[in-house]
A and B are shown apart, each in its own frame.
Chain A
């Protein structure tokens, strides 16, 4: 187990390096720069600005300097928010993003698995069809449509919940964004759980469990659930990635002070260092969560444990 952890951490390093490199050069390929404004600054001022941020250096030199900085934990200054370093901005936005993302993940797993299992246990009945309809809706309606719809219904018509904002991060402010973010993942996980659960329920070892005279709750909870959850666990990697990208949209729509908002804004502003900062944070997050998923998979499937 420890061996696997170390190995996977080591493999993560070159992956991260590749991501940083690709992101670094891609954002530079985009036309325009951080100091192009509608009102042009004088060439003299622009030269000074570029010099101050090392942007007058050859690209490879800039890349080298950036990499050295990142290795020391320095993401550089933001080109847009002049008084802040990227690190400060990320640190400020990180808690809100993590709260939003982890709650959405939790919701997606708990609700998704429960709905999927219910669909499988009551296969081809009203409950099953209700679950599958909900899942289909969740998958087909994109977040940027679902979020304003939820706001419209619960924030404006019913006026139960705030339309946007973060407040102190209390549940009233959290509810809509978390649900909107989790909904597509709930749908995927429910479908996945239902499918694998139906397969497992037909397995010979479930028949054995019943022949042993075990209570149905043990047959399902102990014998069926573990096997049925394996595909869900392996899907958790993509789920976390989807939640991260989804949070970019959700944070923008609900005005949540997380790092997702910065990701969009800074890309539009050509705030090179800020874009890179968010990319690195997201990349590390996804790599770590995928590692976590692999470890979890290892715990669940004894055949994988062997190696």
Chain B
């Protein structure tokens, strides 16, 4: 049986007036049904473009190459009409900024029922009843009244709950969450993450969580892929990564994260240098200019993502981190 999601050799390029920008290159990922994978990386690492490309949502100047198979079927670069049988139905997505991701001119009801009308052929009253039930399930009290309100009448956390409810309308097999908590207050962040975890357990769907915050992934995912400069540099079970990061960048990320779980926290270590310029990526390893362990081979030869253990992969020439 094929995996739920299989991404192979995915590359994303944008044509800009200043030249071509490589947002992602040679990305391989697989996700089994019901599994949760976190993709972590800093701004510009290509993690968001990766998922946008899967759903055909790239900006007009963007081109995706490679292969994305969902339940065995190729979905990359499908025409919109064909994609619409998958997105919103089998793959649903929630976005970073719930303030701007809901249409300010339409009532919540309209923004919800249209999904069921389009994909499930329900009539408006039936769809409305289903939507109210789902709003209650994601923790919106008084849903029957509030479904008739506009987005600006909700708080940020409530709006993200609405976004989640919309995403779950057709009981997707895969939920993609792109920085779902970044725009929210810290206390609300925890609530939303708890909600996602609970819903995933209830509905048995797979989760692809995009974030720059390893802490968020630690709480919500089983596996993690670390992205840097448009490439996956390490992939590991979440506990294994926290216990012993195999890639210098992963170690840098962990070292720059405040930890409350260590007896002696020590100082936070920043990664020296700047994120890479995606218009002029260095030859060899993209992380080499910032890597403290770089040696001659890193300059000339690009490390492939290779398996270290059955469930761990990394893209680094070093056998072991010193």
* A complexed with B: yes
Chain A residues with a Cβ closer than 8 Å to the other chain, count: 22
Partner of B101, one of A205, A213, A214, A218: A205
Contact at A211–B87, with CB atoms within 8 Å? yes
Contact at B118–A226, with CB atoms within 8 Å? no
- A223 cross-chain contacts in B, Cβ below 8 A: 103, 106
The answer to whether the Cβ of B84 comes within 8 Å of any Cβ in the partner chain is yes
| Complex interface bits, B83-94 against A, C-beta within 8 A gives 1, otherwise 0 | 111111100110
What distance in Å separates the Cβ of B127 from its nearest Cβ neighbour in chain A?
13
Q: A213-B87, A214-B114 are known contacts. Are A204 and B104 too (CB-CB below 8 A)?
A: no
- B290 cross-chain contacts in A, Cβ below 8 A: none
What distance in Å separates the Cβ of B97 from its nearest Cβ neighbour in chain A?
6
Contact at B105–A212, with CB atoms within 8 Å? no
Bound-state Cα–Cα, A222 to B87, Å: 19
- A207 cross-chain contacts in B, Cβ below 8 A: 52, 57, 95, 101
What distance in Å separates the Cβ of A306 from its nearest Cβ neighbour in chain B?
8
CB-nearest residue of chain A relative to B100?
A204
What distance in Å separates the Cβ of A36 from its nearest Cβ neighbour in chain B?
58
What distance in Å separates the Cβ of A214 from its nearest Cβ neighbour in chain B?
6
Q: A207-B57, A210-B57, A212-B166 are known contacts. Are A303 and B104 too (CB-CB below 8 A)?
A: yes
Q: A212-B88, A213-B89, A214-B114 are known contacts. Are A300 and B57 too (CB-CB below 8 A)?
A: no
Bound-state Cα–Cα, A301 to B105, Å: 6
Partner of A204, one of B80, B101, B118: B101
- B152 cross-chain contacts in A, Cβ below 8 A: 302-303
Contact at B166–A226, with CB atoms within 8 Å? no
CB-nearest residue of chain A relative to B166?
A212
The answer to whether the Cβ of A265 comes within 8 Å of any Cβ in the partner chain is no
Main SS of chain A's interface residues? helix
CB-nearest residue of chain A relative to B81?
A215
- A218 cross-chain contacts in B, Cβ below 8 A: 114, 118
- A210 cross-chain contacts in B, Cβ below 8 A: 55-57, 80, 87
- B101 cross-chain contacts in A, Cβ below 8 A: 204-205, 207-208
Contact at B100–A222, with CB atoms within 8 Å? no
Contact at B88–A211, with CB atoms within 8 Å? yes
Q: A210-B57, A212-B88, A222-B106 are known contacts. Are A205 and B93 too (CB-CB below 8 A)?
A: no
What distance in Å separates the Cβ of A252 from its nearest Cβ neighbour in chain B?
42
- B95 cross-chain contacts in A, Cβ below 8 A: 204, 207-208, 211
Partner of A213, one of B52, B88, B107: B88
Bound-state Cα–Cα, A39 to B107, Å: 71
Contact at A211–B80, with CB atoms within 8 Å? no
Bound-state Cα–Cα, A29 to B88, Å: 69
- B226 cross-chain contacts in A, Cβ below 8 A: none
The chain A residues found within 8 Å of chain B, CB to CB, are 203-205, 207-216, 218, 222-223, 226-227, 300-303
| 13 A-B contact pairs sorted by A residue (CB < 8 Å) | A204-B100, A207-B52, A207-B101, A210-B56, A210-B80, A211-B95, A212-B114, A213-B87, A213-B88, A215-B118, A218-B114, A222-B106, A222-B110
